[in-house]
Amino acid sequence: MVSAAEQLAANINFSSFAKADELKKRIWFTLGALLVYRLGTYIPLPGIDPNIWDQVFRSQAGGILGMFNMFAGGGINRMAIFALNIMPYISASIIIQLLTTVSPQLEALKKEGEAGRKTLNQYTRYLTVILSVFQAYGIAIGLEGAGNVVADPGWFFRISTVITLTGGTMFLMWLGEQITARGIGNGISLIIMAGIVAELPSAIAGTLELGRQGALSTGLILLVIVMAVAVIAFIVFMERAQRRLLIQYPKRQVGNKMFEGQSSHLPLKLNTSGVIPPIFASSLLLLPTTIASFNAGKGPEWFQWLVTQLGHGRPLFLILYISLIIFFAFFYTAIVFNPTETADNLKKHGGFIPGIRPGERTAEYIDYVLSRITVLGAAYLSVVCLIPEILISYASVPFYFGGTSLLIVVSVTMDTVAQVQGYLLAHQYEGLIKRSKLKGRRR
C-alpha cells in the first residue's frame, strides 16, 4: 500500500516548485550568500604582492597548500581575506566532539537538549577564534619568510593579517549559520562545496589544454570523464546505503484504549564518518611535503627520503593513505555514534530488537553490526580516493578530480536536493490541508 508521503513525492513537479514561494526565497538567499563568499575569495590580503605570492604558491601547490586551496575555493592561491575559509570552524567542531567523549561536563551538556547544544556551539565559536588566530599568525610568518611577498614585514603586518583572516573566518561561520537558518541545506557544507565547484571549470580547462598540447591523450581524457561519472554513481549508491535494524514496540494502554504494537527501523549508514577520513588522511600525509618545500630542500637525509616516498602515487604514500582512511573511518564513527546511548534510548521508550535483550545486549549487537558495515564504508572510501590518486600521479590530472572533492560535492548535493524535496512535500501537504478545509466549509 502506497503511503501519503510517497504519493506526494510522486506528484512533485516544476509547477509545484513554481508555487512554493518560501522555497524560492530560501534558494535566492542561499545563492546570494554564496555569491558574497565568492567575491571575498578575490579580495587580496593587504600588504602582499599577489604576483610574487602566485609564483611561490605554484612551486608548493603539490603539498598541503594545494588541498587547502581546493577547500578555500582558490582563496589561498590568491591569498584572499577568506584564505582560512571555514576550516578552523570544522576543526573546532571536531575537537569539541572529541572532548565530549572524554569530558563528563561536556557530555552532560550534550544530553541537556537544545540549551546544551547552544552552549556547545558557543564553545565551538570560541575555539574557532583561537584556532583562526594561531593559523593566521602562522600564515603571516610564512608569508614574511617566502621571499619578497610582503612589502613591509613586521608586527603591523602580522597583527593586520591575524585580524583580517580571523574576521574572514568568523564572517563565513556567521554566513554559514544564516544559510542553514534562512536558506537551503547546511551552510558550512555549501560554502566548502561552492569553493570546489567554482574552481572546477579552470581544472577542466587545464585538462583540455593539456590534451590540446599533447601532454594528455584523448583516450585518457575520455577515461577520466567515464571514471568521474562512474565514481559519482558509486558515491550516490554507497551514501544512500543503509543497514536497517528492525525495532519492535510492545502493546501499550493509554487510559481505556489499547494500542497495538508497532515496528520501525533503526537506520545505520554504511558511511557514518562522511568525508572526514580522507580529509584527515590527506592533511597528515601532505604535511611533510609542505614543510620540505618551505625549507627549500634542507633538513636531515632521512627526512628528504621520507618526503620522496610520500610523493603522489608512491607505494608508501598509497599504503599509508588507505591505512589512515580506515583508521579515521572507525575512529570518527566511534565518536559520532554511541551504541550504548542508542540502546538506552530504545529501552527508555519500550523499543527492542527482536531476539536481543534490551540494554547491554542491544548495545553490543548494534556495535557488532556497526563495526561490520564500517568495514564496507572504509573500503568504499579507500576505493573512491585511491583511483583518482593514481590518475593524479601518473596522468597529471588536476587535483580537483580527487576523491575527496567528489565525495564532498556529491554528498552535499544529495543533502541539498533532499531538503528541497522536503520543502516541496511540506508545501504540497499544506495545499492539500487547505483544499480539504475549503471543501469542508462548502459542505
Q: Are residues 136 and 154 in the same domain?
A: yes
Instruction: Give the whole-angstrom CA distance, residue 31 versus residue 33.
Output: 6
Locus of grid cell 542508542: 342
Q: Which helix (H) or strand (E) holds 206?
A: helix 187-213
In this prediction, residue 44 carries a pLDDT of 85
Instruction: Give the whole-angstrom CA distance, residue 60 versus residue 64.
Output: 8
Q: How many Cβ atoms are within 10 Å of 112's Cβ, its own excluded?
A: 12
Question: pLDDT of 263-280, one tens digit each?
Answer: 788 888 888 888 888 877
Q: Are residues 117 and 257 in the same domain?
A: no
Residue type at 424 in one-letter notation: L
Q: Are residues 184 and 262 in the same domain?
A: no
Instruction: Give the whole-angstrom CA distance, residue 413 versus residue 232.
Output: 11
Q: Please state the separation of Cα 323 from the chain's center in Å.
A: 20
Q: Are residues 187 and 261 in the same domain?
A: no
Instruction: Give the whole-angstrom CA distance, residue 28 versus residue 26.
Output: 6
In this prediction, residue 107 carries a pLDDT of 77
Is residue 437 a part of any domain in this protein? no
Task: Give pTM, 2 decimals.
Answer: 0.78
Q: Angle at Cα 93 formed by Cα 90 and Cα 99, nearest 5°? A: 145
Q: Which helix (H) or strand (E) holds 264?
A: strand 262-269
Is residue 6 a part of any domain in this protein? no
Sign of CA dihedral 337, 339, 341, 345: positive
Question: pLDDT of 200-247, one tens digit each?
Answer: 777 777 777 777 777 777 777 787 788 778 888 888 888 888 888 888
Give residue 31's domain range: 20-216
In this prediction, residue 291 carries a pLDDT of 63
Q: Are residues 209 and 315 in the same domain?
A: no
In this prediction, residue 1 carries a pLDDT of 38
State how many domains the chain has. Answer: 2
Q: Are residues 200 and 298 in the same domain?
A: no
Identify which has the larger pLDDT, 226 or 434: 226
Question: pLDDT of 141-164, one tens digit each?
Answer: 878 877 777 888 888 888 998 999
Instruction: Give the whole-angstrom CA distance, residue 314 versus residue 311.
Output: 6
Question: pLDDT of 91-126, one tens digit each?
Answer: 888 888 878 877 788 778 777 777 778 888 888 899
Domain boundary among the residues 191, 216, 241 is at 216
Q: Are residues 88 and 128 in the same domain?
A: yes
